[in-house]
Structure 1
């Protein structure tokens, strides 16, 4: 007999109750959300929905549902240990792949010399081509994860990442090197793209801040810590050993993910349960409550355009992604100047240049811890007061004004102290301030979009990643010419004024976001 337990009265519907539907089944309804489920169409008739649910699932014996509100198969009901073990594995995966973006940066001069290249644009593109993979990879990764689940993407993405890393280490010319770095970026984008979706699968809204903090340390600290180790490794053993080390670390993650990483996407788990029950009961008419009537090809067609729909048709995703993209591009532009500033103006050696990335990493660490804890505290306090949770609480001025203001302050300090060659510790403090603010901005925006579109968390991340990574890859190409024309003082001041002008964006959505969500609600 099909299992079709209904939540008991008063039971809160989790995010998993409103996830995407699966193929090969009859049409079913998805809940509009409550304290733990936040969707863009807030003005839903709850009574009408409840009546519809009673009609569609309460009388159909072929519907397969969770075994009540406490079903241990439901990812929201996993034990605390199991949830955090999953997040820990995700954090490891998400730490390794971003290392490829900048760990070899101190060795760019050696690579250019070995392959007989002299173009400054080529030197910059060696770093940024990896980020192009992070830009376009998510457009396929996100929809695939919403059809086939998270775990297969993590596993196979890591395998291909290791293969392409080995190929990069064996490169014989500059073309081969850049081609495999691009492929590294495409495959390495998997954990960065769907990690936030995996967290939304298992964590209630009031605990996502801490979980996101733990996961975010990997993709944010990796590009900053990597060059520190990379500088000394390149100095001692050559640039190829950077890629051998990354391949070894990625190879270690393959058995780790195979053993401990579990599928968390509710529609996939429910479909697996449905297939098992069909086999056990001999009833071919059983179908998942979270399934869809669209055939697989149609479902993939809808899923593949979803990130672009979110990016182009929803002002919330468009403007927030633009904000993150600009500040992220500025970060990568700053990173490309470190070698010139600290080697040329302060006389740092090739190995010691790697240490100049440490302030950025420390700033990000501070930002993750402070804004992650503060975000959860604000959400919890709001719920304790009896208020209905709204996504806009994630971008309250308490979070966005300090973080947004830190960006121009850090840029002004870095720019003018390097312009006049003030002691190297002062521009490093500027980078630390900028990085702390950057984390506050990115953290607030990502949590806001995650709460706004929980069913499509991976697609939201893909939309953000597209703009963010494009600017991260392309801005440094023209940025060095800007510094040549304006100098470090006015060049960074220009970036500071731009970041200052962006502060009103989250404030506008804090005040009018609910109204905008109701007006712009495309079919996803």
Structure 2
């Protein structure tokens, strides 16, 4: 049982756990809320964290998440306060360090079984986003459509759902727990997947795809929190890597499966297969998974005790005191304000949005490109996505290995700043235009098919090398409100990825594959200086920026 649950948690520990669970640190985790923990005295200029006051989410939050984890609350009386609170008969908490109701005390078999189920569900959701991409021409024939814009929108509308669904699922999980959200969203995901499989016209199909994305986004929101609920810090890194493999591999493996499945059974079977597998995962999750959210479990315990004892004063130690209206406000309003008023959040979100748009431009055009330029047909078309997947995996490995080494070096020196995360982003930024030029002109010249496939691998490597450092940088900069910053970035990149690819076919028709991809490459070249500027001026920008929530 982690010792941190039976002593007053540090400011950094609460922030770290909240970031892992996907919500801001003024909402309690199983370590408590930032409101219950005095900030380090060295951060005298840090803003007040009380919920009913304006909060400056950027100014004064320059210290990184990692340095906060190493800091203490700065109060010698804190452990005594925590001990008093633990023995207060009105406060409901775990019954000692070995309480079997605490998910942290589950058996290793149950913990890793839960992680496996969540990882499988998380893998399926991104898989479904692009699985039927090779079958898009067949869908167009079925619905008698020749609209190039709809051809791209059929694929990208799924990610549009990612922009809206998670904004509602996050506060709902704080009120009702993770398990009801998993089961409800899984069931609705299956329903809308089946609906897409039997759609009789284009409008129905696009609407059902949108709702697939809305409900399919739930594991991406809840998965990190589930892992943080049950896996101790020393093992959490391994679990998070396993969980993150789904969003990385799924979108690239899906078209390979979908290409052959479409050729063998038709495009509708892409959805039937997803529905069948999702149904199996849902049944398994209903059998094996249990609620993991400590605040929700303790609130249920307090409710039972109030009913059995008649003592209405009993209260969970992790009770946030927030109304549903407040939870929704923080979930929806905060990200919007941060996106519009925090320059660092705005700039990083724009960078991520553009790189994500490139990914979905490729997803929506690969089939047409390799069909027209290389006469690929049937299941072979799905193999055109292979380079992108291999490049993405390589980018994830390089970032994890070398990025962590760089950060560890600065932490050891005691001079770590969030901007040290951006070194890898500087490198990745150059791979994006190189990959776009490589892919575009090799396709235009109809060179051997391996040349553009390798070019997409370079592009996939650059995408991961920019996207992952940007995400960790937002967490380090905004610390207490990291989840809102990430939500802001997610909304913008989902909207961009859904809308920009709509014009990709027209772009290629007018400019050709060479100059069309060169246009995208020139735009990515314009973005290259962003991490360099933030490395040099990021700290100054953070100290001079004020964002009130």
Give the alignment's TM-score, normalised by structure 2: 0.82
Among 493, 498, 507, the alignment partner of 2:518 is 493
Specify the SS of the correspondent of 1:29: helix
* 1:215-248 Cα shifts (integer Å, max 9, x gaps): 2221232221111111111111111111110000
Structure 1 range deviating more: 104-113 or 308-317? 308-317
* 1:435-472 Cα shifts (integer Å, max 9, x gaps): 01211222222223334456656544432221111111
Among 29, 36, 39, the alignment partner of 1:30 is 36
Say if 1:319 and 1:263 are closer, same or farther in 2 by CA, change over 3 A. Answer: farther
Aligned partner of 1:442 in structure 2 is 467
Structure 1: gaps (5+ residues): none
Q: How many correspondences in the alignment?
A: 513
Measure how far apart 1:511 and its partner are: 4.4
Aligned partner of 1:474 in structure 2 is 499
Measure how far apart 1:351 and its partner are: 1.6
* 1:63-93 Cα shifts (integer Å, max 9, x gaps): 3455678877666777766554443322211
Say if 1:12 and 1:196 are closer, same or farther in 2 by CA, change over 3 A. Answer: closer
- Whether 1:464 aligns to 2:512 is no
Aligned partner of 1:247 in structure 2 is 275
Aligned partner of 2:249 in structure 1 is 221
Say if 1:32 and 1:236 are closer, same or farther in 2 by CA, change over 3 A. Answer: farther
- Whether 1:387 aligns to 2:414 is yes
Aligned partner of 1:366 in structure 2 is 394
Say if 1:456 and 1:78 are closer, same or farther in 2 by CA, change over 3 A. Answer: farther
- Whether 1:178 aligns to 2:206 is yes
Aligned partner of 2:340 in structure 1 is 312
Aligned partner of 1:357 in structure 2 is 385
Among 312, 328, 343, the alignment partner of 1:284 is 312
Q: In 2, distance between residues paired with 1:66 and 1:504?
A: 50
Q: In 2, distance between residues paired with 1:73 and 1:505?
A: 48
* 1:387-440 Cα shifts (integer Å, max 9, x gaps): 3865444x241x222222211111111111112111110111110011012112
Specify the SS of the correspondent of 2:36: coil
Structure 2: gaps (5+ residues): 19-23, 41-45, 47-56
Say if 1:8 and 1:145 are closer, same or farther in 2 by CA, change over 3 A. Answer: closer
Alpha-carbon contact 1:66-1:74 (below 8 Å) kept: yes
- Whether 1:334 aligns to 2:359 is no
Q: In 1, distance between residues paired with 2:363 and 2:161?
A: 19
Aligned partner of 1:152 in structure 2 is 180
Alpha-carbon contact 1:197-1:458 (below 8 Å) kept: no
* 1:69-118 Cα shifts (integer Å, max 9, x gaps): 88776667777665544433222111112222221112122221122112
CA RMSD of aligned residues (A): 3.6
- Whether 1:410 aligns to 2:435 is yes
Measure how far apart 1:300 and its partner are: 2.9
Measure how far apart 1:306 and its partner are: 2.7
Q: In 2, distance between residues paired with 1:516 and 1:83?
A: 42
Measure how far apart 1:480 and its partner are: 2.1
Among 420, 423, 432, the alignment partner of 2:448 is 423
Alpha-carbon contact 2:39-2:73 (below 8 Å) kept: no
Aligned partner of 2:52 in structure 1 is none
Say if 1:456 and 1:287 are closer, same or farther in 2 by CA, change over 3 A. Answer: farther
Say if 1:72 and 1:322 are closer, same or farther in 2 by CA, change over 3 A. Answer: farther
* 1:3-60 Cα shifts (integer Å, max 9, x gaps): x9851799984445884447xxxx99333678xxx99654899767666886698465
